[in-house]
């Protein structure tokens, strides 16, 4: 299980798609940040400004990276990377998918 120490957390949630995706931002002392969130069943598209790593910590999902047609099945304990200025479509079939999103150096 992931845990973080010496961080600041934004209490105000980031709410997307009418509450179907909810996250909180975690700020680290070195200036980096991550978001921790939940994705409820559905299909959602996200755009990225900076490169991201999505770690799935509970549940499962399928993703399609922008510019591809390949469907990748992602299980808890796995991750996928998304290029900056790109995006991905994520589908959660059932249950709740929990994630940690890390913003990577460009």
What percent of the chain is helix, strand and coil (3-state, nearest 5)?
5, 60, 35
Say if 3 falls within a structural domain.
no
Q: Is the pLDDT of residue 106 over 80?
A: no
Mean of pLDDT values over 82-105: 96
Say if 32 falls within a structural domain.
yes
Work out how many domains the chain is built from and give that number: 1
Contact indicator for 40, 23 with CB cutoff of 8 Å: no
Residue owning tokens 């991550």: 34
Say if 37 falls within a structural domain.
yes
Say if 24 falls within a structural domain.
yes
Say if 2 falls within a structural domain.
no
pLDDT in tens, 2-44: 789 999 999 999 999 999 999 999 999 999 999 999 999 999 9
Contact indicator for 91, 45 with CB cutoff of 8 Å: no
pLDDT in tens, 81-93: 999 999 999 999 9
Structural domain that includes position 43: 9-103
Say if 22 falls within a structural domain.
yes
As beta bridge partners, residue 95 has: none
The length of the chain in residues reads 106
CATH code, 87: 2.60.120.10
- The burial of 94, by beta-carbon neighbours within 10 Å (0-12 exposed, 13-18 middle, 19 or more buried), is given as exposed
> 3-class DSSP state for residue 21?
strand
């Amino acid at each position: 299980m992931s845990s973080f120490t010496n961080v600041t957390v934004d209490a105000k949630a980031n709410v997307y798609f009418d509450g179907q995706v909810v996250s909180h931002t975690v700020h680290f002392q070195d200036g980096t940040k991550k978001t921790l969130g939940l994705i409820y069943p559905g299909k959602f598209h996200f755009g990225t400004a900076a490169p991201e790593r999505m770690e799935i910590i509970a549940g499962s999902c399928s993703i399609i990276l922008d510019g591809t047609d390949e469907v990748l099945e992602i299980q808890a304990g796995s991750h996928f990377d998304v290029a900056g200025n790109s995006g991905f479509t994520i589908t959660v079939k059932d249950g709740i998918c929990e994630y940690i999103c890390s913003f990577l150096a460009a």
